[in-house]
Amino acid sequence: MRNYKITLIKGDGIGPEIVDEAVKVLDAVASCCELHFEYDEALMGGCAYDITGDPLPQETITKALQSDAVLFGAIGGEKWDTLPREKRPESGLLRFRKELGVYANLRPAVVYDELVNASSLKPEIIKGVDIMVVRELIGGIYFGEPKGRTEDKGWNTMVYTRDEIVRIAHHAFQIAMKRDKRVCSVDKANVLDVSQLWRDVVTEVSAQYPEVKLTHMYVDNAAMQLVLNPKQFDVILTGNIFGDILSDEASMLCGSIGLLPSASVGDKIGVYEPIHGSAPDIAGQGIANPIATIASASMMLRFALGEIQAADKIDNAIKKALSEGYRTGDLAQFDAKEVCSTSEMGSIIANYIER
Ligand code: NAD
Which residue, among 126, 106, 124, has the nearest Cα to 255 in the 3D structure? 126
- Residue of 75, 82, 276 to test ligand 1 pocket, by largest number of atoms within 8 Å of CB: 276
Residues of the chain with CATH 3.40.50.2300: 130-252
Bridge partner residues of 271 (DSSP): 70, 264
* 299-308 b/e (C-beta count within 10 Å ≥ 16 → b): bbbbbbbebe
Radius of gyration of the chain (CA): 20
Mutual orientation of helices 15-33 and 308-323 as an angle, nearest 10°?
120
Residue 279 alpha carbon to ligand 1 centre in Å: 4
Q: What does the pLDDT read at residue 103?
A: 97
SS3 238: strand
What type of residue sits at position 116? V
Computed from CA positions of residues 64, 65, 71, 75, in that sequence, does the dihedral angle turn out positive or negative?
positive
Task: List, chain by chain if needed, residues with CB within 6 Å of any ligand 1 atom.
Answer: 14, 74-77, 90, 93, 257-258, 273, 276-282, 288-289, 292, 330
Comparing 208 with 256, which gets the higher pLDDT?
208
Indicate the pLDDT class of residue 248, thresholds 50, 70 and 90.
Answer: confident
pLDDT digits (tens, 9 = 90+) for 127-183: 999 999 999 999 999 999 999 999 999 999 999 999 999 999 999 999 999 999 999
Q: Which atom of ligand 1 lies closest to the CA of 18?
A: 18
**Beta carbons of 319 and 329 less than 8 angstroms apart:** no
Instruction: Supply the residue whose CA is at minimum distance from atom 6 of ligand 1.
Output: 279
Instruction: Please state which CATH class domain 1-111+255-355 belongs to.
Output: alpha beta
Q: What does the pLDDT read at residue 279?
A: 98
Q: What does the pLDDT read at residue 236?
A: 98
Residue 82 alpha carbon to ligand 1 centre in Å: 18
Residue 258 alpha carbon to ligand 1 centre in Å: 9
**Contacts for 331-337: CB closer than 8 Å, 24+ residues apart:** 331/115, 331/118, 331/255, 331/256, 331/258, 331/289, 334/115, 334/117, 334/118, 334/255, 335/114, 335/115, 335/117, 335/118
Which residue, among 134, 113, 6, has the nearest Cα to 64 in the 3D structure? 6
Kindly list the catalytic residues. 142, 188, 220, 244, 248
Q: DSSP secondary structure string, 96-114?
A: HHHHHT--EEEEEEE--GG
Residue 26 alpha carbon to ligand 1 centre in Å: 23
Computed from CA positions of residues 13, 149, 105, 269, in that sequence, does the dihedral angle turn out positive or negative?
negative
Q: What does the pLDDT read at residue 267?
A: 87
**What kind of fold does domain 130-252 have according to CATH?**
Rossmann fold (3.40.50)
Is residue 199's pLDDT more than 90? Answer: yes
Q: What does the pLDDT read at residue 308?
A: 96
Q: What does the pLDDT read at residue 305?
A: 96
Q: What does the pLDDT read at residue 334?
A: 85
Residues of the chain with CATH 3.40.718.10: 1-111+255-355
Instruction: Supply the residue whose CA is at minimum distance from atom 36 of ligand 1.
Output: 277
Which residue, among 67, 76, 16, 11, has the nearest Cα to 43 in the 3D structure? 11
Write out the H or E segment, with its range, that includes residue 72.
strand 69-74
Is residue 120's pLDDT more than 90? Answer: no
pLDDT digits (tens, 9 = 90+) for 336-346: 899 999 999 99
Q: What does the pLDDT read at residue 250?
A: 86
Q: What is the DSSP letter of 281?
A: T
Instruction: Supply the residue whose CA is at minimum distance from atom 23 of ligand 1.
Output: 277
Q: Which atom of ligand 1 lies closest to the CA of 74?
A: 40
